[in-house]
Each structure stands twice: as structure tokens, then as C-alpha cells.
Amino acid sequence: MCGIVGIVSSQPVNQQVYDALLLLQHRGQDSTGIATADGSTLHLQKANGQVREAYRTRDMRNLVGTTGLGHVRYATKGNAFNEQEAQPFYVNAPYGIILVHNGNLTNTPQLTDELFRIDRRHLNTTSDTELLVNVLANELQDQVSGLDLNPEQVFTAIERVHNRVEGSYAAIALIAGHGLLAFRDPFGIRPLVLGRRQTGLVGDEWIVASESLVLESAGYELVRDVAPGEAIFITPDGEMFSKQCARAPVLIPCSFEYVYLARPDSIMNGISVYEARLRLGDKLADTIAKYTPMGDIDVVMPIPDSSRPAAMQVAQKLGVEYREGFYKNRYVGRTFIMPGQAERKKSVKQKLNAMSSEFKGKNILIVDDSIVRGTTSKEIVQMAREAGANKVTFTSAAPPVRFPHVYGINMPTRAELVAHGRKIPEIAMEMGADALIYQEVADMQAAIIAGSEVNSLEMSCFTGDYISGNITPAYLDWLEQTQLS
Ligand SMILES: O=P(O)(O)OC[C@H]1O[C@H](OP(=O)(O)OP(=O)(O)O)[C@H](O)[C@@H]1O
Ligand SMILES: NC(=O)CC[C@H](N)C(=O)O
Ligand SMILES: [Mg+2]
């Protein structure tokens, strides 16, 4: 999951995009980029690293214009360290297009072949985003005959993008001299919200972003989610057009956004992430109560940061004291989205420290939002023991992650998942915990979608059921062999 934002403003847009990217930093730490359109001239700046270290004052000054977009990358395809693969991606025809993408395409071998053989397009990286921008450019090129571009032509191009591309994509593109385009895959797997700010002067100002907290912070009103399959086209003057471009759109958003990826103060697909996490805690508490004698737990403890809402709720529902025993180094980022296992392992140790006064002689129930590779949980159990804990029960507000995620979260290899091919007692042994309790799949789904209009979630990493038909065992084998470098 990356973070994306696009803004059509009446003012210079560079600082607005920068501020939005800072708020989306939790969605990607590998690289970042900003592009702006000044009439028909495009300006682009991208670099490896996080937002605060990637832009210098002179870079920002060069980003001229009132329409712009930006990206923070958490690589899921290609190479996480290659600056060439930092987004946005640019193609010069038709008009000049710059695109940012959150998601992961799942028919990349086929697209690579078609673009080379049929469309005669050159690809210079292994990024799936480079494929997406080229498919878009190719389909747009087919629609236009003169210099003009109207929204219907853009929407027809997106219909054809939907027909060719599989997987997840929430994307925003600048089309030089014409406007800002945003579109979401027909399942709406990755999030995208639309906001508006009335200036009282000229046309409205518009924003599209991965998460609603960006809108709130910049004073935009949340208009709605971009619908699955929908495309939105906004002219530089603030005129907005939208159209459903998919034949059979159905909203099946990614469950992992609610479990871990998104910030709790965001609302996506009409569901408050914070409230979803509280409900996950409620349901988890019910499961814990089934398996654990109550006198057995002295304290409930979260693993900062993402499990805090669920852990609070577990403690409250079980009537057990909530204590914070792990102190977090705020200068270390999110470890799960770092590239490379060695880096992730080292960072967990740098990030979290156990305060022995909270552990000595106690039976601790630890709550994490999820257990994926087990990097965090193995270290945590060891830290708790070294700090003097008596008994360590580990719990996860999400079910066991047993299958690769192919829609925009970097966990493509079965063998790296601590729960793959293991029963729960075997996982507990691997982690060194005295007991291990996971959320049930049905409880997770019920907790997240409660009271909303969402009927089902993309949960393939928990169930092995992939929503797009092209995820075959052969595809998963291929993915393991070509995994992210
Ligand atoms: O089993 P693993 O492979 O370790 O992955 C799961 C862990 O990684 C994440 O934490 P992270 O440090 O990324 O971010 P957070 O501070 O938001 O919890 C998540 O919250 C779990 O703690
Ligand atoms: N996490 C994402 O959305 C990644 C986007 C794209 N697949 C990349 O690797 O750059
Ligand atoms: Mg965590």
C-alpha cells in the first residue's frame, strides 16, 4: 500500500501536496515523489527516502503550478531501492501523462508482453506502475485525434484500462494541459476518497487521496469515496466530471487496511478505521474468554502502535488492567513496511523496549493487530521473558496470515509467513509464547464491516480465496520466484 494524493487548487499546489504526503507517510517509507502541472508544462521531483528528507527548498520551488499529485512508496513489485521506480511515472504521449499508483497488478507478465509486442512501448523498469501508465497512455492515444481532450474520451480510455489490467489500482494522473484524472479498480481494493473546498473566488478546489485524514487536515470536506471502477476527471479550473467505467463493479476493499495499514483517524468506504479496530478488540476478547481462564491474566498490553485500540478494548471487555510495558522509539518507522528482513528484524529491537517493572512476575496478555512474518512477535516474547514475565499469552486481532497477498501488500512468499503450513500450537512454539490466540476470520469480517454498506472484504491472505480469477498456483509460484528485490 502506498499513499497517493492529487489536488486541483486555485493556489500554488506544491506545499499542499507535500503536507498531504507527510500525513500519508505511514503508507510508504521507501521513496516519494511530487509532480505539478503549470499549464502544459509538467514538473517532477522524486527521490528515495521519506518525505522530510527527500525534498530540498530548491526542489519545492521548481514544482510550479496549481494542479499536482504526490506519492509515498511501499514497494510491492520491482525494486524497492531503485530511484527509477520511485513514483510518479511519466510518459510523454499523448499530451504528457504523470501517474501515481497504490496497488499491485496481477497480470504483469501478460501486460509486459502486450505492451512490447502489440503496442510497441518501451518499458525501462520492472515496476507494475510503469505498466499501468503505459496502458493508460496507449488507450488514451487511441481515443484522441486532435489536440482537444474531452471527459468522455478519458472515460472510454479508463473502460479499456479496466478491461486490460488485473489486480488492485487506485491511481491519479496529471494530463498536461487538461486536468487531473483519478480512478479505482472495479473491486475498490485500495482506498481513494474525494474532497472539496469552496474558495468563494473561482471554481471549487478538489482533492483525491488515499485516506480521509488528509482532507480533514487541509480543510476539505469529505465528499465521498471514489466508487470501485469509477473515474473522476477534474479540469484545471475546478470543473469535475465522473463516470462509472467498469462493467460489473463490486466493492470488496482490503481487510488489511483496517487491521494495520490505514491511520485510525481515517474513514474509508464509510467505515471508521478506529472504530473497526475497537470492534476487532471486542471480538478478540470474546475468543480469548473462550480459551483462557480469567484468573490467568494479570495485565493486557498492546504492541505500539497499531494494536492500541484493539488492546484497550480487549482489556475493558475482559475487565483486566491495561498497561503499556513496551516503550516505543518514535524515530523508528513502521517495521513491517521496511524492505528486507534483516532491516525489519534490527528495527524491531531499536523500536521497542520492555520496561521490566511492568513485567516482573506477571502473566501478560499481549495484543498485536496482526502477526505476519512473526518478526515482531518473536522479539516481543523474548523481551517480555527477559523483562521477567511469568506467562506470556500472545493474541492477534487478525486471523493467521497463511497465504501470499497479491493486491498491494508485500508478502508474496508462502515460506516467509510464520503461520503458513503451521497449526496454532506450532506457531506458538515458533514464537516462544505459552499460548497463542488469533481472531476468527468471520469475526474479523463482522467487526470491520459492522453497520456499513460494505458486504464483503478482500481477505485472501487469511483464507487463500483470491477475488480475481487469475491467481492460480502457477501464478503464486511465479510470484515467489520473481519477488521484490
Ligand atoms: O509479524 P510481523 O511480520 O512482524 O508483522 C506484524 C507487525 O508489524 C506491524 O507493526 P509496525 O512496526 O510495522 O507498525 P506499527 O508501529 O504501526 O504497529 C504490525 O502492527 C505488527 O506489529
Ligand atoms: N504499495 C503500493 O501500492 C505499491 C505500488 C507499486 N506496486 C510499486 O511497487 O511501486
Ligand atoms: Mg505493530
Residue 244 and residue 278 share a domain: no
Residue 245 and residue 123 share a domain: yes
Residue 183 and residue 53 share a domain: yes
Report yes or no on 379 lying in a domain: yes
237 annotated ligand binder: no
Residue 329 and residue 232 share a domain: no
40 annotated ligand binder: no
End-of-domain residue from the set 216, 251, 286? 251
Q: Which ligand 2 atom is nearest residue 85's CA? A: 10
Residue 319 and residue 242 share a domain: no
Distance 104 CA to ligand 2 centre (A): 6
Ligand nearest to the CA of 27: 2
* Residue 185 CB less than 6 A away from ligand 2: no
ipTM for the predicted complex: 0.97
Q: What is the pLDDT of residues 201-251, one digit of tens each?
A: 667 899 999 999 999 999 999 999 999 999 999 999 999 999 999 999 999
Residue 444 falls in which region: left (phi positive, over 0), alpha (psi -120 to 50) or beta: alpha
Q: Which helix (H) or strand (E) holds 168?
A: strand 167-175
Q: Which ligand 2 atom is nearest residue 27's CA? A: 1
Report yes or no on 266 lying in a domain: no
* Residue 374 CB less than 6 A away from ligand 1: yes
Residue 291 and residue 245 share a domain: no
Residue with cell 492529487: 6
Helix axes 273-291, 441-449, angle to 10 degrees: 150
CA distances from 85 to 32, 90, 382 (A): 10, 11, 37
Residue 281 and residue 232 share a domain: no
Using CA positions, which residue lies closest to atom 17 of ligand 1?
A: 306
Using CA positions, which residue lies closest to atom 3 of ligand 1?
A: 373
Residue by residue, pLDDT tens for the chain (485 residues) are 799 999 999 999 999 999 999 999 999 999 999 999 999 999 999 999 999 999 999 999 999 999 999 999 999 888 888 889 999 999 999 999 999 999 999 999 999 999 999 999 999 999 999 999 999 999 999 998 888 899 999 999 999 999 999 999 999 999 999 999 999 999 999 999 999 998 776 678 999 999 999 999 999 999 999 999 999 999 999 999 999 999 999 999 999 999 999 999 999 999 999 999 999 999 999 999 999 887 789 999 999 999 999 999 999 999 999 999 999 898 888 888 888 888 888 888 888 999 999 999 999 999 999 999 999 999 999 999 999 999 999 999 999 999 999 998 888 788 899 999 999 999 999 999 999 999 999 999 999 999 999 999 999 999 999 998 789 988 898 888 877 65
Rounded Cα gap, residues 305 and 376, in angstroms: 12
* Residue 89 CB less than 6 A away from ligand 2: no
Distance 458 CA to ligand 1 centre (A): 20
Rounded Cα gap, residues 16 and 307, in angstroms: 30
**Contact (CB, 8 A) for 256 and 191:** no
* Residue 454 CB less than 6 A away from ligand 1: no
What was the pLDDT predicted at 293?
80
Taking residue 22's Cβ as centre, other Cβ atoms within 10 Å add up to 17
Check which CATH number belongs to the domain holding 452 and give it. 3.40.50.2020
207 is written with which cell numbers?
482533492
248 is written with which cell numbers?
460489473
Distance 29 CA to ligand 3 centre (A): 15
What was the pLDDT predicted at 217?
93
Residue 295 and residue 219 share a domain: no
Report yes or no on 481 lying in a domain: no
Distance 26 CA to ligand 3 centre (A): 12
Q: Return the biggest CA–CA distance within the chain.
A: 77
Using CA positions, which residue lies closest to atom 5 of ligand 1?
A: 372
Residue 93 and residue 21 share a domain: yes
Going by C-beta distance under 8 Å and a sequence separation of 6 or more, which residues neighbour residue 113?
none
What was the pLDDT predicted at 294?
75
What was the pLDDT predicted at 202?
65
Strand partners of residue 90:
98
**Contact (CB, 8 A) for 352 and 379:** yes
What was the pLDDT predicted at 201?
66
Residue 39 falls in which region: left (phi positive, over 0), alpha (psi -120 to 50) or beta: left
Which amino acid type is present at position 190?
A: R
325 is written with which cell numbers?
510495558
477 annotated ligand binder: no
Check which CATH number belongs to the domain holding 146 and give it. 3.60.20.10
What was the pLDDT predicted at 484?
63
Pairing of strands 31-38, 67-73: antiparallel
* Residue 370 CB less than 6 A away from ligand 1: yes
Distance 363 CA to ligand 2 centre (A): 41
Q: What is the pLDDT of residues 371-397, one digit of tens each?
A: 999 999 999 999 999 999 999 999 999
* Residue 2 CB less than 6 A away from ligand 2: yes
* Residue 396 CB less than 6 A away from ligand 1: no
Residue 280 and residue 218 share a domain: no
* Residue 77 CB less than 6 A away from ligand 2: yes
Catalytic residues: 2
Residue 284 and residue 237 share a domain: no
Single pTM value for the model: 0.96
Q: Which ligand 1 atom is nearest residue 337's CA? A: 13
Q: How many independent structural domains does the chain possess?
A: 2
Report yes or no on 28 lying in a domain: yes
Q: Which ligand 2 atom is nearest residue 103's CA? A: 3
Distance 86 CA to ligand 2 centre (A): 9
Q: Which ligand 1 atom is nearest residue 369's CA? A: 20
Q: What is the pLDDT of residues 91-147, one digit of tens each?
A: 999 999 999 999 999 999 999 999 999 999 999 999 999 999 999 999 999 998 888
* Vertex 59 angle, CA 180 and 98, to 5°: 25
Find the domain containing 203 and state its range. Answer: 3-251
Residue 212 and residue 65 share a domain: yes
Report how many helices (DSSP H) and strands (DSSP E) the chain contains, helices first.
Answer: 16, 22
Counting Cα atoms < 13 Å in the Cβ hemisphere of 10 gives 12
What was the pLDDT predicted at 354?
93
